[in-house]
Amino acid sequence: MSIVDTPERRQLRELTRAFVTREVLPHLDDWERAGEVPRALHATAAKLGLLGIGFPESVGGSGGDLLDSIIVTEELIRSGGSSGLVAALFTHGIALPHMVAAAGARTGGSLGGRLGGTASPADDSLIERYVRPTLSGTMIGALAITEPDGGSDVAGIRTTARRDGDHYVVNGSKTYITSGHRADFVTTAVCTDFPGSGELTLLVIDKGSPGFTVGRRLEKLGWHCSDTAELSFADVRVPVANRIGAENTGFLAIMQHFAAERLSLATQAYATAQRCVELAVRWCRDRETFGRPLASRQLIRHRLAEMHTRAEAARSYVHDVAARVAAGEPVVTEVAMAKNMAVAACDHVVDQALQLHGGFGYLRDAEVERHYRDARILGIGGGTTEIMNEIIAKGMGL
């Protein structure tokens, strides 16, 4: 029995599949056109325990670990959902872990290292004010790191936070923020020294704070059901009580949680590939050309076999690396390799799957068309393919 194929995880798959079939598939096309998923979906997922998977019960989660989160992500896509839906519904997976880790000394949380020593009452307060409501589906959170002129240069963040008594005064801007329009709060990376100094701190900034503006909804190639926003801060006063961990521990906090984010994206990639293999096989069995099913032709069968091989190999490697991360192993290089391997497999498979669908694959009515668009972001988000290659090269001693 594989580590991801236990009786409990099979039940988790069944629960996720039922959720997608009942709550997602009848509405996903409408959400794609609306540019967001409804808030009620968060509440429904929370009642089923799906929203809290991977978060300890002590903070309002459902328990489980990184592997359980991967199971949910994988099954959500393979059941007919999409990576865009994962981004929209599970944005808290990147918005909350830093808070849970900072409060870990008191809560016993296991989602990362404890930041800034012993947890403070302020860290406990963040659990009550933001983590529990989000995991119950009544709040939505986002993570704001990327800036208009920053890209992957996290240490070069220029949004500043100047201490003024019991508050920080925040000035700057963020972009490409997933769930930025719907979010009730944003876990925000700010510089507590001069811009670009690398001295970063994480602050939780409430939507509606004076000076905090949510800009235009960004229109994208894919992930249409996941809203994306630009944010700006003009003398926004944020209570010191909204700081996550100690001052100037933000860079470490961000780096500690990149592994889980990158493995989530890797999971979305191989699961999208698997789903596209299934769609292509079904199409090639049913579609006839020149009086014969497409699948009767050796060229088509071999192409499907190669697609299946790439998807399954990526799945196996991502699972292996995720198990090592869950066990506490420092496998930064392997995480980068897993992401790049899964993204490469996905890129190849979705392209071939759409090609096999012919003209129909180019229509919005084809599920494979959505996966083709959604897949393109996976080699960019959470660290680009090029950044992953640099990490791998360093791991090789180059």
Which residues are identified as catalytic? 261
CA atoms within 13 Å, Cβ hemisphere of 214: 22
Q: Among residues 143, 133, 140, 28, which one has the least CA distance to residue 76?
A: 28
- List the structure tokens of 6: 């236990």
- What is each CA distance from 157 to 14, 145, 149, 151, in whole angstroms? 42, 8, 9, 9
Those residues whose C-beta lies under 8 Å from the C-beta of residue 397, and which sit 6 or more positions away, are none
Is the four-CA dihedral 130, 135, 138, 141 of positive or negative sign?
positive
CA atoms within 13 Å, Cβ hemisphere of 48: 21
- What is each CA distance from 9 to 1, 6, 138, in whole angstroms? 12, 5, 26
- What is each CA distance from 100 to 73, 83, 118, 151, in whole angstroms? 21, 25, 13, 26
- List the structure tokens of 216: 């235009």
3-state SS assignment for residue 205: strand
CB 185 within 8 A of CB 205: yes
Which residue is associated with the tokens 């709550």? 23
Which residue is associated with the tokens 């290659």? 389
- List the structure tokens of 329: 């192993």
**H or E stretch at 252:** helix 250-286
CB 159 within 8 A of CB 190: yes
3-state SS assignment for residue 47: helix
Q: How far is C-alpha 52 from the geometric centre of its chain's CA atoms? A: 14
User: Hey, what amino acid is at 114?
Assistant: R
- List the structure tokens of 87: 């981004």
